[in-house]
């Protein structure tokens, strides 16, 4: 688990890493919903927050939008898991522990592909 006492500069590095990891699985969402840009915007928000371009609240709104996009995908689908990973990447700006969510959903995609 992510250390709750993480320094803000480290949290920003973590957000960049989470965004990079989420980008790897974004294709699963965009393949089914190419016009829905909310998960992609969440990744951008994570990066923009880490670079000081936006405030935490803006990243949080992007995270919530990505999770809303996930709700339109079928339950337990790669598309849903990918959108949730993107949402957690942006939510890392709010709470560092959300980076764990990115890893969690990527693992769910990997497991679903083996079935």
Q: pLDDT for 14-39, tens place per residue? A: 999 999 999 999 999 999 999 999 99
40 falls within a domain = yes
Q: Identify the helix (H) or strand (E) that includes residue 13.
A: helix 8-32
The closest alpha carbon to 87, from 75, 73, 74, 102, belongs to 102
7 falls within a domain = no
Q: What is the pTM of this model?
A: 0.91
How distant is the alpha carbon of residue 14 from its chain centre?
A: 12
Q: Is the dihedral of CA 59, 61, 67, 72 positive or negative?
A: negative
What distance in Å separates the CA atoms of residue 76 and residue 8, rounded to the nearest whole number?
Answer: 33
8 falls within a domain = no
- Please give the tally of structural domains in the chain: 1
Q: Which two tokens stand for residue 94?
A: 């709010």
pLDDT tier, 115 (very low <50, low <70, confident <90, very high otherwise): very low
Q: Is the dihedral of CA 31, 111, 65, 22 positive or negative?
A: negative
28 falls within a domain = yes
90 falls within a domain = yes
Q: Which residue has the higher pLDDT, 4 or 15?
A: 15
3 falls within a domain = no
What distance in Å separates the CA atoms of residue 84 and residue 71, rounded to the nearest whole number?
Answer: 9
4 falls within a domain = no
Which pLDDT does position 3 carry in this prediction?
A: 52
- Which residue range is the domain that position 50 belongs to? 14-114
Q: pLDDT for 85-96, tens place per residue? A: 999 999 999 999
Q: Which two tokens stand for residue 17?
A: 């890493």
Q: Please check the confidence at residue 113 and state whether its pLDDT lies above 90.
A: no
Q: pLDDT for 40-74, tens place per residue? A: 999 999 999 999 999 999 999 999 999 999 999 99
């Amino acid at each position: 688990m992510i250390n709750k006492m993480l320094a803000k500069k480290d949290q920003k590095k973590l957000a960049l890493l989470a965004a990079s990891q989420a980008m790897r699985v974004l294709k699963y969402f965009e393949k089914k919903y190419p016009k829905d840009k909310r998960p992609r915007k969440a990744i951008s928000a994570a990066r923009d927050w880490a670079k000081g371009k936006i405030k935490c609240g803006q990243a949080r709104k992007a995270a919530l939008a990505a999770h809303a996009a996930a709700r339109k995908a079928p339950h337990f689908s790669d598309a849903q898991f990918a959108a949730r990973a993107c949402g957690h990447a942006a939510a890392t700006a709010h709470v560092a522990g959300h980076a764990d969510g990115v890893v969690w959903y990527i693992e769910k995609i990997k497991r679903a592909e083996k079935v």
